[in-house]
Amino acid sequence: MEPYIIYAVRLCAFQAIAFRGHNERPNSINKGNFHEMLEAICSFNNEMKELFHTAPKDASYTSPTIQKGILNLIFNRVRRMISEEIDGGKFCLLVDEARDESNREYTFIVSRFVNKDGVIMENFFGLFYVPDTTSQTLKDRIYFLLTHNNLNFKSIRGQGYDDASNMRGHFKGLQALISKDCPSPYYIHCLSIAISING
């Protein structure tokens, strides 16, 4: 895979620029930020330009699937860095749900902890699709994400959720299920975590 493709994906992601265009066909005036950025990069290098324009469609590495794969690799690295910064210490979780344009439910997690310099850190830690929003499904996915990143759920010291009963419920809500496994975390109601999901 050409490094300029990874560069374009990384730049779009870090600058929060939409990747896709309304019309990405070759004769389009504006193919979207990702393709237009590749065109701009290639205009300075004839070899890249030749490769970009002559490669078969399935070997150009510009499909949304490839873009998502590159983003996933970047995000996994960022998540590992956050886990290393927590370094077995205590942390809090902020969890919320949202639907995308196709009505699929997603859950996202923000980690909150104090780093070794005594600074409170709040980092986006995960976004995952859930087939349903029952408290047990959410708990299972959160535990999977934590253990997959070498974080112990027994180190949770705070939980922040919205007002939905599946989250805040005293008996069967997510906060109750986590509190059964680890009695230390306190629960705080949070009005919302403002993250938009673009399909």
Burial (CB count within 10 angstroms: exposed 0-12, middle 13-18, buried 19+), residue 180: exposed
Is residue 198 one of the residues assigned to a domain? no
Let me know whether 105 and 12 are in one domain: no
- Looking at residue 1, its pLDDT comes to 55
Q: Is the pLDDT of residue 84 over 90?
A: yes
Is residue 68 one of the residues assigned to a domain? no
Let me know whether 185 and 91 are in one domain: yes
Q: Is the pLDDT of residue 50 over 90?
A: no
Let me know whether 100 and 177 are in one domain: yes
Tell how strand 156-161 and strand 91-99 pair up. Answer: parallel
Q: Is the pLDDT of residue 58 over 70?
A: no
CATH number for the domain that contains residue 120? 3.30.420.40
| Cβ atoms of 150 and 83 closer than 8 Å | yes
Is residue 52 one of the residues assigned to a domain? yes
Q: Is the pLDDT of residue 23 over 50?
A: yes
Q: In the structure encoding, which two tokens stand for residue 131, read together?
A: 């087939």
Domain count, the chain: 2
